[in-house]
Amino acid sequence: MDGRRFTLQHMTLKDKIIIITGASSGIGKSLAFEFAKRGANLVLGARQYVTLCEITEDLITRYNIKALAVQCDVVKEEDCEHLIKQAMLTFGQIDVLVNNAGISMRALFVDADLAVLKAVMDVNFWGTVYCTKYALPEILKTKGIIVGVSSIAGYKGLPGRTGYSASKFAMNGFLDTLRVENLKTGINVLTACPGFTASNIRTNSLDKSGKQQGESTMHEEKMMTSDAVAKIIADGIENRARTLIMTGQGKLMVFLNKFFPRLVDKLVYNTIAKEKNSLLK
């Protein structure tokens, strides 16, 4: 009985075909290396095609796996469709889709141009929807896994990140519904929620007018590394996990928010107020 349950619940990544969006930097790049270490073959999508090709070449040389770089802007539905088609043309199947591409923002809603919120939603939410729509028929055939790299901000609204939190709440709702719809199809849907992670997401965050802010306003050295996040996600995929909430702080916040939401409002406010050049007065 135990052996049968292990077979159903556990999968090895060796020789699996995995698509990763936003694979040219941060968590996406770390995921590519973590999956390659475990023997997976990869389809990497990102806007930065030259960087992506360099990463792909490194992965092939270092780990003796197969890897394909595809230029893809997840805001464009046709790019997402092309990414999935290229994966099928090259490998003939898809076992795992990791919706990782994402951007953030930093501006109070009262000050922010609405175009900033739309830009964040287009990448984080619609990018996930587009890629999943085209990959799902193939993942149903392999009884594979759809992963969304969400955030603790998808459980609790973060001040100065209205568009980011909204996009991650939307992503969580989409993935949750997809999971229920596919309860009996054999596929798995994993929502991965890192806490604050040391990556380039904050330096690339959009300010109130839509320009990249250019530097992090937080203490990156105290954060979880993207490599650590990648390992947790890879383990979660192999174990066919449902939800991954990372960092003790993140787990505590999600738990407390269920029972003491007013307290968490204050705690979150005070945490964000400690940022460099805080937007909160």
Instruction: Give the residue among 200, 219, 198 at the shortest CA–CA distance from 278.
Output: 219
Exposed / middle / buried, residue 120 (Cβ in 10 Å: 0-12, 13-18, 19+): buried
Strand (E) or helix (H) holding 226? helix 226-238
Extract the tokens encoding 104: 């953030």
- Residue 31, C-beta contacts closer than 8 angstroms, at least 6 positions apart: 20, 23, 98, 100, 230, 233, 234
Integer Cα distance of 91 and 276 in angstroms: 47
Q: Which residue type sits at 95?
A: D
Question: Is residue 67 within 8 Å of 60, Cβ to Cβ?
Answer: yes
Q: Which residue has tokens 């759809």?
A: 146
Strand (E) or helix (H) holding 175? helix 162-181
DSSP code of residue 154 = G
* Catalytic sites, residue numbers: 164
